[in-house]
């Protein structure tokens, strides 16, 4: 845990969040500034700065995040219509929170390529 990390605060329940799915290793909650009708974030409970660092250190945990993304999408009713999983990584991708997280976006038709 990193004491100055926002998402570690959500894991520790010192920062409030609307949790939609949880396991021993991961947490899924609603994004505070949704970019789609359903916009969830899935994070490992352990702190890693980005998805690549997580997957390198603990591939099984990366699998847990992906499995939880599917379960959270189903719980939010977007599994039938489809959804997008995004791991923003670094400056050009506009990563703003440096605790690995998977965006789960759905509930509307999305364009490709992303802007």
Active site residues: 101
102: nearest Cα among 25, 57, 44: 44
CB 26 within 8 A of CB 42: yes
Q: Does residue 5 touch Zn ion according to CB under 5 A?
A: yes
53, 61, 97, 107: which one contacts ligand 5GP (CB under 6 A)? 97
39: nearest Cα among 49, 51, 30: 30
Q: Does residue 6 touch ligand 5GP according to CB under 6 A?
A: yes
Q: Which partner from the list Zn ion, ligand 5GP, none does 110 bind, CB cut-off 5 to 8 Å by kind?
A: none
Instruction: State the nearest-atom distance from the C-beta of 90 to ligand 5GP, in Å.
Output: 10
Residues 6+ apart with CB under 8 A from 5: 47, 97, 98, 99
Q: What residue ranges bind ligand 5GP (CB under 6 A)?
A: 6, 15, 17, 29-33, 41, 88, 94-97
């Amino acid at each position: 845990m990193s004491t100055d990390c926002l998402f570690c605060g959500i894991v520790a329940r010192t920062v409030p969040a609307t949790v939609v799915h949880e396991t021993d290793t991961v947490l899924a909650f609603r994004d505070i500034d949704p970019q789609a009708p359903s916009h969830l974030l899935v994070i490992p409970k352990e702190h890693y700065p980005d998805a690549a660092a997580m997957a390198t250190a603990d591939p099984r945990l990366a699998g847990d995040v992906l499995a939880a993304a599917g379960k959270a999408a189903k719980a939010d009713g977007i599994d039938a219509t489809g959804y997008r999983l995004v791991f923003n990584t670094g400056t050009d991708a506009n990563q703003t929170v440096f605790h690995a997280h998977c965006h789960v976006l759905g509930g509307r038709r999305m364009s490709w390529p992303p802007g």
